């Protein structure tokens, strides 16, 4: 077995757990639909989390063929990306619905760790990939820093329209990215 065959199940399990957490939370909301008030913002961000999982898993398959891990520290660095996605997915939707839940209120209560997880994820991407690449993509790093600053600013913005606009823009960007990718 080569390194790729050992590595892909490890990382794949983490991505699968993130997707499972998101799907179970979605299922719970469908079953308990009479006990909560829906809101577009958390639903958009849950879709974004799922798209991030798909995009990252696909991207991992591509970079995995170029990676040669030399030590366990590099495996740790590489595993931080799917671990952060697991946190993002698990913060997207509630795990329990007690009495009556307002999805917007839930989102507001959890937006700081939610957006911080996004920020850390975006800043980790160039750090992790830089360890495995000979070239530095300055445009990618700049874009990730700008998006991280947007996520940090969303922590303090209270009106839902800002969160909806950011989530929608991020979702559209991810969709365009996903449909442009191919294995080469």
Residue 146: other Cβ atoms inside 10 A: 11
pTM score, two decimals?
0.89
- Write the pLDDT tens digit of every residue in 87-121: 999 999 998 888 888 999 999 999 999 999 999 99
Distance (Å, whole) CA 10 – CA 14:
7
Q: Model confidence at 9, in pLDDT bands (50, 70, 90)?
A: confident
DSSP character at residue 156 = T
CB 89 within 8 A of CB 21: yes
pLDDT at res. 31: 92
Highest mean pLDDT (candidates 32-36, 69-73, 149-153): 149-153
pLDDT at res. 149: 96
Distance (Å, whole) CA 16 – CA 30:
21
């Amino acid at each position: 077995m080569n390194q790729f065959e050992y590595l892909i199940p490890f990382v794949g399990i983490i991505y699968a757990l993130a997707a499972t957490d998101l799907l179970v939370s979605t299922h719970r909301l469908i079953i308990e639909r009479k006990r909560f008030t829906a809101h577009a913002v958390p639903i958009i961000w849950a879709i974004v989390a799922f798209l991030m999982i798909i995009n990252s898993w696909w991207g991992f398959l591509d970079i995995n063929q170029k990676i040669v891990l030399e030590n366990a520290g590099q495996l740790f660095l590489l595993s931080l990306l799917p671990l952060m996605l697991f946190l993002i997915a698990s913060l997207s939707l509630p795990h329990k619905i007690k009495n009556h839940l307002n999805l917007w209120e839930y989102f507001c209560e959890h937006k700081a760790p939610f957006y911080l997880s996004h920020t850390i994820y975006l800043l980790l991407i160039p750090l992790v990939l830089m360890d495995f690449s000979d070239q530095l993509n300055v445009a990618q790093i700049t874009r990730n820093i700008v998006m991280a600053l947007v996520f940090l600013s969303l922590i303090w913005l209270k009106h839902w329209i800002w969160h909806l606009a950011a989530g929608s823009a991020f979702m559209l960007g991810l969709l365009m990215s996903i449909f442009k990718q191919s294995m080469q």
